[in-house]
Chains A and B, each alone.
Chain A
Amino acid sequence: MSSVPAAKPETINTAPPYTEFHPRWYRPRVSVYWWLGEWHYLKFILRELSSVFVAVFVVETLLLLSALRGGPAAYAHFQQSMRNPLLIALNVIGLFFVVFHTITWFNLAPSATPVRLHGKRLPDAAVAAPAYIGWAVVSAFICWIVLR
C-alpha cells in the first residue's frame, strides 16, 4: 500500500473547485485477459482449468463403463476409438493438467491445514510429504489391481 502525501497546509481550507460532473468512484477497468500478464495469475487460471480435464477424464470413464455394459464387442470398439490420435493428444494434455492439479493440491494442503506439534508449526514439506507418499502407494496399488 502506498502512503498518501500529507496535504499542504494552505490547501486545507480552500473549497474544492466547482465541477459540473458528478464525482465517480475510482473503478479501474480490468481487462478480460487480466490473467495473461503475470505468471502467478496464469498459474492460477491453469490450475482452475485443470478441472476441465478432470471432467474430460470422467466422461471417458463413463464411456468405458458404457462399453463394458454393452459387451465384448462394444469394449473392443471403445479400445479402438481410444487409439484416435486426437484423443491421445487430448489425454497427453489432460495428464499434464491432472498431475498439475495433484501437485498444486498437495502443496496447498499445508496452508489449508497447518499442523502444530509441541506448539510449533510443522514445516510445509512435512505436511505435504504424506500426501505424495499416499499418491505413490495408491497409484502402484491401482496398477497392480488392473495389470495382474
Chain B
Amino acid sequence: MARHASNESFFWILFSVGGMIAALFIPVHLFLFGLAFPLGWLHAPGYEQLMSLVRMPLVRIYLLLICSLPLFHWAHRFRYTLYDGLKVKHLNELIFAFCYGGATLGTVIAAWFLWSIG
C-alpha cells in the first residue's frame, strides 16, 4: 500500500512539473513553429540558425525537458480523463501502459535525436 502511494506521488510530481513547463513554454513555441512561421507572419529561422542553437548543450537540455515532462503531464491527465470521462476503469492496466509507455517512448526518442543531432 505504501509503495502504491509513493508511486502515485511520483507520477503526480511529474504531472505538475510537466504542467508548469507546458504552461510556460508551449504556447509561444506552438505559436511560432505551428502558425507564425508556416503562415509567413514572421521570418522563419534558417537551417543553420536553428542548428547553431541546437548545438548548445543548454538548449539541448531545454528541448529534452519541454518534450519529456509535458508528455508525463499528458499521461496523467489523459489516463484520468479516460477513467472518469469515458468510465473505462476496467481497462486500467492497458491505459496506464499506453500513457506512460508513450511518454517514456517520446522521452527516449527526444534524447536520441538530441544526442545524435550533430
Q: A48-B81, A51-B78 are in contact. Are A57 and B30 (CB under 8 A)?
A: yes
Q: A91: which B residues are within 8 A, CB to CB? A: 30, 34-35, 38
Known: A32-B86, A65-B117, A72-B47. A54 touches B70 (CB 8 A): yes
**A68 adjacent to B30 (CB under 8 Å):** no
Q: How would residues 86 to 109 of chain B score, 1 for a CB under 8 Å from any chain A CB and 0 otherwise?
A: 110000000000000010001001
A62 x B113 contact (CB < 8 A): yes
Could you say which of A4-12, A19-27, A134-142 contacts chain B?
A: A134-142
What B residues does A71 contact at CB under 8 A?
47
The answer for the CA separation of A92 and B110 in the assembled complex, in Å, is 24
Q: Does B53 sit at the interface, judged by CB under 8 A?
A: yes
Given A48-B85, A95-B30; A66-B113 close (CB under 8 Å): yes
Q: A71-B47, A135-B27 are in contact. List 19 more A-B contacts (CB 8 A).
A: A48-B80, A51-B73, A58-B66, A58-B71, A58-B110, A60-B34, A61-B66, A61-B110, A62-B113, A65-B117, A68-B50, A69-B113, A79-B37, A98-B26, A99-B27, A102-B26, A142-B28, A146-B53, A147-B45
- B interface size (C-beta, 8 A): 52
A116 on interface, CB distance cutoff 8 Å: no
Are B87 and A57 in touch, CB under 8 angstroms? no
Smallest CB-CB separation from A90: which chain B residue? B34
How far, in Å, is A61 (CB) from chain B's closest CB?
A: 6
Known contacts: A61-B66, A79-B38. The answer to whether A139 contacts B27 by CB under 8 A is yes
Of the candidates B28, B30, B37, B50, the one having the most CB atoms from chain A within 10 angstroms of its own CB is B30
Within 8 A of B (CB), among A44-83: 45, 48-52, 54-55, 57-62, 64-66, 68-69, 71-72, 75-76, 79, 82-83
Smallest Cβ-Cβ distance to B18: which chain A residue: A54
